[in-house]
Structure 1
Amino acid sequence: MPTPPQPPPSPSTLSRFLTSQSAVYGPLPAPLTAQTAHSWSPPASPGAGGHRGRYLWTDAFGLLNFITLSHTTPERSEREGYLALARRLAESVHEVLGRTRDGKDRLPGASEEEPLAGGLRIGKVEEGGGDGDGMYHHYATLWMFALERLGRATGEGRWVGLACQLGRASSRSFVRRRGEAGRGGMVWKVGVDGRTVLVGSEGHLDAATGFVVYRLVQRAAGELGVGEDGGVLEGEIGEYRELIMGREGRLAASRDALDLGMGLWMAHFFRGEEWARRLGEESLGRVPGVLRAAMARGAERRLAFREFGTCLGVRCWDPGDEEIEGVVKEVLGFWEKHMDASTDEDLRPISYVMYAAALIPGGG
């Protein structure tokens, strides 16, 4: 995730980053080269904690972390090795989460030529029920961003083309146009068919994140020559723009730790625009209170990955504020001592990859 220029990570920080990444993806090939990386497969168990070892949010951060690692080494062969691992992870996610749960068929709307045109499953372990499998817009956009970063890091436009496929599919699934329900809006969760609405409420940042990520993908498509012109996703971007700009008070800083951090992350890409500057500054003002309130509770009443979201957002926005950075370091230091013992086993993968991203928010 692009941030203002920062000094290289210390050996200690890089060691903690690698330990956390390896806790999810297993021992990495050594020595690591593009050739040895081809023998690696993302583990199915425990893996990223989801269905057949794949969970879309966790793997998006896992992919970005591999790209970050490619920027931490001066050795060309090792850089290429980390990018090869990122490619392998992306291919595995598409093969598992881009198919039905039995693995036999592509999701409805997809084909071998357009494997993401049917969207991507969340990767929930359970098929049905209140917390069963389906699709989330905010997961899809995070994966689109990961693919955009992979395309930029490798110079391979095919990854950006896949991001465009997923973007078109996600817009069709989650955006409700005017006339369908009386007014434009979005839904939170749909089924694996990409059509059945499972949760009809609207995510606070879903439209804004779409507005940001689709623009980043569109820009990368133009630079890498993906599509016939520079107008890919133009219609979808216009819809997201209307959804966030056409409503008074649509964007406000959240009091939820993860939402707060992802708002900062999202806004930092376009911090020169008024809406992003306003959201970023308002969100930054809430960070000390949100994190100190969290620190006042016991570990058993907290979720590490949500707090890591705040830490990541702060470091992407990079306020240059010693007080806020001090609180971030305090939170990270706390979880370095308590995460393994105080985090449920099924939440450890998402916590590990987000901890690593908060340590070194690179990714491109």
Structure 2
Amino acid sequence: MNKEERINLAGEIMLDFAAQTGVSQENKSPRRYLWTDAFAVFNFLELYHRTQDEEWLMLARHLVDQVHQTLGRHRPDSARSGWLSGLGEEEGARHPTRGGLRIGKKVDERAPDEPMDERLEWERDGQYYHYLTKWMRALGRMSRVTGEAGYLRWAMELAQTAHRAFRFSAAPDGSFGLHWKMSSDLRRSLVPSVGQHDPLDGLVTCCELLFAARGFTDQELPDLEREVRELTGMCRNRDFSTDDTLGIGSILVDACRSGELIINDAFQDIALFQRMVHDGLLSLEDLAATFLDQQARYRLAFRELGLSIGLKGAARLARVFEEYPDARGGELAPWLQPRLEAMLWFHKMSSKIEAFWIEEMRKGTEHWRSHGDINMVMLATSLVPEQFLRSG
């Protein structure tokens, strides 16, 4: 598939997504889900970048507004109403991310006195830290593309809110961790276990937002230095390797983003960057690639497409350091080059994943439709990933 065909297919998918979920049709009730919508914003912006068609930018703006108006407020079936932050209507509209953003699950979160049901918890609403970081990035990219500081301010306010709410003291030595899931009002933990990559994703995202803020020196924007310092501490001596395809994709994307930030002197922890690359490569080498030969009913499209996106990130990281071999005085190049070459050996998996799920999408199989929205946007991101992978 050539570049034009990839753009055209991504455009078809995103127009379908916009119509199905109520982004482009005012008479259709919006169906908002934070993870899916974050990827959709990146895709709309990439299609705008590629085509210069203002319709894509309009869809991105409209989707941002819908997410804030829907997921920044209490559920319609909740006893409470208004902004999650508790702010009044006008002030809440000026700061729609101050209270965080709901996941968008169909089932309400469990009540404080309700026992935990691990299976049902996946279907319940609340707030996920790793969903919030995706939305921070989407807002940051909106700011980059439009030149409007307001989107970046919302992203940085969300970063402060999420860090304050999800952070907890993890040990007697005063070290911190991040809860996996919080209630919609951010007052209680729903799943106290710690996500493997959450602190890393939060750290790279905060550094990315601080880098973006350099372009708005005339604006008074939130300070994220405390968040960066504490998240850095959470990432120390941490093992990021995983056998989960989506998780591998995540670590590869974070390595790509932090590599570009290093080039721009916006990410200082070289040892942590090396850990990302090492653990990402280790995870790829340990991956049982036999999943590529399995039938669709044994596979999940969005998880595999996350790996495909990560493999695109590894290729981008290689190109970035090929263009800037003298980054950090050239100290990284001798260590990095053989590892990136080893990563690129796996790149062919990306096209196989895409081809398999494009066929499933075109046949309209149940295995594609069962997670239709998220499958659509992540396939489109894999086809045109640049806005999602960029940190500068």
Instruction: With the length of structure 1 as denominator, give the TM-score of the two structures.
Output: 0.84
C-alpha separation in 2, matches of 1:42 and 1:310: 34
CA displacement at 1:228 relative to structure 2: 3.1
Measured against aligned partners, the alpha-carbon deviations of 1:58-97 in whole angstroms (never above 9, x if no partner) come to 0000000011001112x4xx1x332222111101100000
CA displacement at 1:354 relative to structure 2: 0.3
- Which residue is equivalent to 1:330? 352
Identity of aligned residues (%): 30
C-alpha separation in 1, matches of 2:344 and 2:132: 34
- Which residue is equivalent to 2:330? none
- Which residue is equivalent to 1:117? 98
| Preserved contact between residue 119 and residue 166 of structure 1 (Cα < 8 Å) | yes
Aligned CA RMSD, in angstroms, stands at 2.6
Which SS does the other structure have where 2:190 is aligned?
Answer: strand
Measured against aligned partners, the alpha-carbon deviations of 1:291-349 in whole angstroms (never above 9, x if no partner) come to 62321322101100000001101101215666422221111111111243142534111
| Preserved contact between residue 175 and residue 233 of structure 2 (Cα < 8 Å) | no
| Preserved contact between residue 360 and residue 368 of structure 2 (Cα < 8 Å) | no
| Preserved contact between residue 19 and residue 25 of structure 2 (Cα < 8 Å) | no
- Which residue is equivalent to 2:48? 70
- Which residue is equivalent to 1:86? 60
Q: Name which structure has the greater RCO, CA cutoff 8 Å, separation 6+.
A: 1
Question: Which letter does structure 1 place at the counterpart of 2:56?
Answer: Y
C-alpha spacing 1:358/1:288, structure 2 compared with 1 (3 Å): farther
| Preserved contact between residue 98 and residue 158 of structure 2 (Cα < 8 Å) | yes
- Which residue is equivalent to 1:102? 76
Question: Which letter does structure 1 place at the counterpart of 2:16?
Answer: A
Question: Which letter does structure 1 place at the counterpart of 2:45?
Answer: I
C-alpha spacing 1:42/1:279, structure 2 compared with 1 (3 Å): farther
1:270 aligns with 2:258: yes
C-alpha separation in 2, matches of 1:23 and 1:242: 43
| Preserved contact between residue 179 and residue 193 of structure 2 (Cα < 8 Å) | yes
Runs of 4+ in 1 over 4 A off after TM superposition: 41-45, 178-183, 319-322
CA displacement at 1:177 relative to structure 2: 3.7
CA displacement at 1:99 relative to structure 2: 0.4
- Which residue is equivalent to 1:193? 185
Which SS does the other structure have where 1:324 is aligned?
Answer: coil
C-alpha separation in 1, matches of 2:26 and 2:232: 37
Structure 1: where are the runs of 5+ without partners? Answer: 1-7, 29-38, 46-51
Instruction: With the length of structure 2 as denominator, give the TM-score of the two structures.
Output: 0.78
| Preserved contact between residue 18 and residue 24 of structure 2 (Cα < 8 Å) | no
1:217 aligns with 2:209: yes
1:283 aligns with 2:280: yes
CA displacement at 1:109 relative to structure 2: 4.4
1:20 aligns with 2:8: no
Moved more, 176-185 or 274-283: 176-185
- Which residue is equivalent to 1:173? 165
C-alpha spacing 1:297/1:9, structure 2 compared with 1 (3 Å): closer
Greater helix content: 2
Question: Which letter does structure 2 place at the counterpart of 1:240?
Answer: L
| Preserved contact between residue 97 and residue 123 of structure 1 (Cα < 8 Å) | yes
C-alpha separation in 2, matches of 1:294 and 1:224: 46
Which of 299, 304, 329 lines up with 1:302 in the alignment?
299
CA displacement at 1:15 relative to structure 2: 1.8
**Alignment length, in residue pairs?**
333
Which of 209, 216, 229 lines up with 1:238 in the alignment?
229
